[in-house]
Amino acid sequence: MGMSKHFLICLVAAMVPTLGHSAVVWDEAVNGDLSGDRFNPTQLTLSNGSNLLLATTGDSELDFYTFTLAPNQQLSQLNLRAYNRQDVMFIGVTTGTTFGVDPNDPNIPDLLGWMHFGAANLDQDLLPMMGTGEFGAQGFTPPLGPGSYSFWMNQFNEPTSYTLEFVVTPVPEPATMAALGLGVAALIRRRRKN
């Protein structure tokens, strides 16, 4: 086996676990109710790949959770994977390890992003919609980079179950991206020759 082919196989093998990881990081049915205290949100640990959150919120029961992305991690997508009612739910995000907005007196400019979502958003990535900066929120363009983020989920009507998928990817390094690009190009050339 030539050195270049061996290198390619190693490169591809190194990428696969990163893309293939999928785990439930919190399931209220198993792990208990998410925190209702914005100053002490439930701590989630996200890994590169797909991270699922299964929870229920409704009436006056709020859900607060937080996670910290390592210097080489970014949140690429926030996909809605399940939603069991027709009306909409609020999701808001702030930077930091506590949720920086008072739900009883929300100051919108303190929100990094927010939106109302519902069944119409099933299998959609909420992140770009949350980042539009509506009503004076700070706004952002995905991905969300390294650092701490806290979320508030709120449904004023009957309890609603939701499943969110947080997709975390490595922050691309220019050298890695270039090597991967060359590797893929070489693989394609090889396949065409065979």
Q: What does the CA dihedral 93, 114, 45, 13 come to, rounded to 10 degrees?
A: -130
Among 28-36, 68-76, 93-101, 112-120, which window interacts with Ca ion (CB under 5 A)? 28-36
Q: Closest CB to Ca ion among 34 and 93?
A: 34
Closest contact distance (angstroms) between CB of 92 and Ca ion is 15
The answer to whether residue 165 forms part of the interface with Ca ion (CB under 5 A) is no
Closest contact distance (angstroms) between CB of 120 and Ca ion is 22
Give rounded-to-5 percent helix, strand, coil for the chain. Answer: 30, 35, 35
Q: Closest CB to Ca ion among 49 and 85?
A: 85
Closest contact distance (angstroms) between CB of 39 and Ca ion is 17
Closest contact distance (angstroms) between CB of 106 and Ca ion is 19
DSSP state of 84: -
Query: Residues 33, 37, 59, 173: which binds Ca ion (CB under 5 A)?
Result: 33
Q: What is the largest CA-CA distance in the chain?
A: 66
DSSP state of 33: P
On whether the CB atoms of residues 39 and 48 are closer than 8 A, the answer is no
Which residues touch 3 (CB under 8 Å, ≥6 apart)?
A: none
Quote the distance between the C-alpha of residue 46 and its chain's center: 9
Q: Closest CB to Ca ion among 27 and 173?
A: 27
Q: Which residues, 34 to 63, sit near Ca ion by CB under 5 A?
A: 34, 55, 57, 63
Closest contact distance (angstroms) between CB of 56 and Ca ion is 5
Q: How many CB atoms lie within 10 A of CB 92?
A: 24
Q: Closest CB to Ca ion among 42 and 74?
A: 42
Q: How many CB atoms lie within 10 A of CB 119?
A: 14
Q: Closest CB to Ca ion among 39 and 135?
A: 39
Residues contributing to the site for Ca ion (CB under 5 A): 33-34, 55, 57, 63
